[in-house]
Structure 1
Amino acid sequence: MTTVITFGTFDVLHVGHVRVLNRAAALGDRLVVGVSSDALNFSKKGRNPVFDQDERTEIVSNLKVVDAVFVEESLEQKREYVLEHRADILVMGDDWTGKFDFLNDVCRVIYLPRTPSVSTTAIIEHISGGGAAG
């Protein structure tokens, strides 16, 4: 059985999230998702997510391609998460290309292209009247 692991905030779930999760799931038999904690999200993006970590975890855990979900507390713990969940493959968006190559000794690292013209930030800005969604 091949286990795939991926990570993300998954705030304001959109088609880009669904597509990356589907592509990640297609690479193995089991998909484990680390949902960024509220504190981690704030440290990465400088803002709180729209939905808190419990809500985001519940949403992601109810997607049919997802087999297990946990809260990711730190970017520095990627190795521990990979080992703990016995992941064979780590999938990340291509905006992280090269950043997790150091994990190639414990799993295969794959960077998938992001869905063009869609982002959580753009959606939030559009809803708040700050710009066009795309």
Structure 2
Amino acid sequence: MKKIITYGTFDLLHYGHIQLLKRAKALGDYLIVGLSSDEFNKLKGKKSVLSYQERVDLLSAIKYIDEIIPENNWEQKSRDVINNNVSIFVMGDDWKGQFDDLSEYCDVLYLERTPEISSSSIKQNILNKEKLIKM
């Protein structure tokens, strides 16, 4: 069985996330998603709109995902790859080069992101609309 793993916060789930997950799953038989915990997001300076459990619930409904594990720190990726017998580590190409050290344990692929959408752009659009409403 060929296992794939990817990581992310997956806050404000959108079409680009679904495309990434679909493409990752197509690379193998079993897709594991390492979902950033609320505590890890704080360490990264990120605040999610949705809680960890809400994001787990959303991701659990996606047919491409076979398993969700918590991501609690940067260092766990190599352990996750080894412990889960992962064949391919996948991330969006905005992370290109950041995880090449994992190629010691598995193939590392950076998939092109869906260019017209991101969680950051959605958050910015919401903020801009709120500013217009207050005017």
Please give the root-mean-square deviation of Cα atoms over the aligned residues, in Å. Answer: 1.4
Match of 1:117 in 2: 116
The residue identity in structure 2 corresponding to 1:29 is D
Q: Distance in 1 between matches of 2:58 and 2:85?
A: 23
1:91 aligns with 2:90: yes
Equivalent position of 2:14 in the other structure: 14
Match of 1:66 in 2: 65
Going from structure 1 to structure 2, the CA distance change for 1:107 and 1:18 (only over 3 Å counts) comes to same
CA shift for structure 1 position 73: 0.3
Distance across 1 between alignment mates of 2:111 and 2:18: 13
Counterpart of 1:3, as a letter, is K
CA distance in 1 between partners of 2:52 and 2:106 (Å) = 27
Quick one: distance in 1 between partners of 2:101 and 2:85? Answer: 17
Q: What amino acid is aligned across from residue 90 of structure 2 in structure 1?
A: V
Q: CA deviation at 1:79?
A: 0.2
Question: Matches of 2:11 and 2:54 in 1, distance apart?
Answer: 9
Which amino acid in 2 is paired with 1:112? L
CA distance in structure 2 between the aligned counterparts of 1:61 and 1:86, rounded to whole angstroms: 21
Structure 2 equivalent of residue 34 of structure 1? 34
Runs of 5+ consecutive residues of structure 2 not aligned to the other structure: 131-135
Q: Which residue of 2 aligns with 1:75?
A: 74
Aligned residues: 130
Say whether 1:128 aligns with 2:127: yes
Q: For residue 60 of structure 1, give the secondary structure of its aligned residue in structure 2.
A: helix
Superposed CA deviations along residues 19-75 of structure 1, whole A, max 9, x for unmatched, are 00000000001100001111222332x231000111111211220010000110011
- TM-score for both structures, normalised by structure 2: 0.90
Equivalent position SS for 1:64:
coil
Q: Percent identity?
A: 45
Which 5+ residue runs of structure 1 have no aligned equivalent?
none
Contact 1:31 1:68 in 2 (8 A): yes
Please give the alpha-carbon distance, in whole angstroms, between the structure 1 residues aligned to 2:93 and 2:46: 22
Deviation at 1:130, TM superposition (A): 5.7
Secondary structure class of the residue paired with 2:128: coil
1:2 equivalent to 2:2? Answer yes
Q: TM-score, normalised by structure 1?
A: 0.91
